[in-house]
Amino acid sequence: MKLLVILLFSGLITGYRGNSSHSLPSKLLLVSFDGFRADYLQDYEFPHLQNFIKEGVLVEHVKNVFITKTFPNHYSIVTGLYEESHGIVANSMYDASTKKRFSDFDDKDPFWWNEAEPIWVTNQLQENRSSAAAMWPGTDVPIHNTTPSYFMNYSSSVSFEERLNNITMWLMNSNPPVTFATLYWEEPDASGHKYGPEDKENMYRVLKGIDDLIGELVHRLKVLGLWENLNVIITSDHGMTQCSKERLINLDLCIDNSSYTLVDLTPVAALLPKINITEVYNKLKVCDPHMNVYLKEEIPARFHYQHNDRIQPIILVADEGWTIVLNKSLSKLGDHGYDNSLSSMHPFLAAHGPAFHKGYKQSTINSVDIYPMMCHILGLKPHPNNGTFGHTKCLLVDQWCINLPEAIGIVIGALLVLTTLTCLIIIMQNRLSVPRPFSRLQLQEDDDDPLIE
């Protein structure tokens, strides 16, 4: 017994030591395929991605942040913050105090990014580590005076192949080692806008192309010997919904556009009134039944989209599939940016590697939960954030987790065992007590036989 206790105790100590002193730090590659709507996974075939999931984990729906646009959501993934807290509140922004503007094409001023610290910066502040980025919004900007040690200036014309070549080279041959890396690809967002997600024929072709890229990624990691020790997360920033020229909201029919500065247009418009704010608000309020009009202070709390100077005094939120325009026709058949409670706006998350379970599926997490999970994998102390580490525990091998269905199953199982045992005891007692007079009679008969013999 003594020996057993000693053995168990020493086993625990070694086990603990084994987990805490990593000779090699954990490595993580974070991949985003822009605009990969969660239910594409059910509606189309992805043989390579499904193989990846079979040996890893899948979160079917990631509830992202409002507004469901590219820059804000990519920054929430790497900071764990809602948009009002990290400051990238749209793809097009205006700061009234400095009169600065931000857009997809003019995003390099650190001013916009410095309200938060993304994980690639935090990772480099730890001893002997570096980060690398084959693109991701913000990775080519010196945020808090720091870029990733290895990065590419953003250009949509650089091929996936070249991005993949760079990121794998950096993951293999750098000193200090690259422990956190990002890889970004513009599809299926670009095609989703162009064709609309309901164009099955074109989307089938585009999504097959995405699956082939995932196949190429996994193949390359295997060939280079990176696959076994690397944690890989494949996710996205938002989904996509179908738009139509039948569903337009023309602001020019409601209000003269010289009475406000338009900062962003659709599906969430941001307006800075030039005249009396109430006057602008009252005209817009009755403009179209398919658009919600909010003064900044009335924006619903569930959006977590209010407490930042870059959020304009009036915002307009179009209903799903509706497009806000200024006297112009519809330019795209698919869009995103809508209410983040719409499932069409959600992406998915799949992950594979030594940190993750194999073959585990979970229905949902929030996109802000990804940050504390990544910090845990990398052994980084997370900055204050809006995510909940507990939501991702079931995905991770080093965490004890019990989810609701399992808990219900255990309780029902325990009740069944107890009921069965109780029934058995009752039956046994009845058998022992009720047939006694009869058995005594039998005994008497039986008893006779040997006596006769």
Q: How many CA atoms lie within 13 A of 344 on its CB side?
A: 17
Query: Residue 253 CB, nearest distance to Zn ion (Å)?
Result: 26
Other CB atoms within 10 A of residue 259 CB: 14
Residue 89 beta carbon to Zn ion: minimum distance, rounded to whole angstroms: 16
User: Measured from the CB atom, is 84 or 189 closer to Zn ion?
Assistant: 189
Least CB distance from residue 275 to Zn ion, whole Å? Answer: 32
- Closer Cβ to Zn ion, 189 or 264, answer by number: 189
Beta carbon nearer to Zn ion, 257 or 331: 331
Q: Which is nearer to Zn ion, 336 or 352 (CB)?
A: 336
Contact of 197 with 242, CB cutoff 8 Å: yes
Q: Is 189 in the site for Zn ion (CB under 5 A)?
A: yes
Give the whole-angstrom CA distance, residue 32 versus residue 163.
12
Site residue total, Zn ion (CB under 5 A)? 1
Candidates 68, 70, 323, 392; catalytic one: 70
Residue closest to Zn ion when measured from CB atoms: 189
Is 70 a known active-site residue?
A: yes
Nearer to Zn ion, 56 or 72 (CB): 72
Shortest reach from residue 319's CB to Zn ion, in Å:
18
- Binding-site string for Zn ion from residue 358 to residue 397, where x marks contact by CB under 5 A and - marks none: ----------------------------------------
Q: Are strands 291-295 and 314-318 parallel, antiparallel or unpaired?
A: antiparallel
Contact between 284 and 255 under an 8 Å Cβ cutoff? The reply is yes
DSSP string, 168-201: HHHHHS-SSPEEEEEEEE-TTHHHHHHH-TT-HH
237 binding Zn ion? (CB under 5 A): no
Provide the minimum distance between the beta carbon of 291 and Zn ion in the complex, in angstroms, as a whole number. Answer: 20
Output the CA–CA distances (angstroms, integers) from residue 284 to 253, 269, 324, in the order listed: 10, 11, 12
Tally of CB atoms within 10 A around 194: 14
Per the CB < 8 A criterion, the answer to whether 239 and 38 are in contact is: yes
Beta bridge partners of 130: 178
Annotated catalytic sites, by residue? 70
Which chain residues interact with Zn ion by CB under 5 A? 189
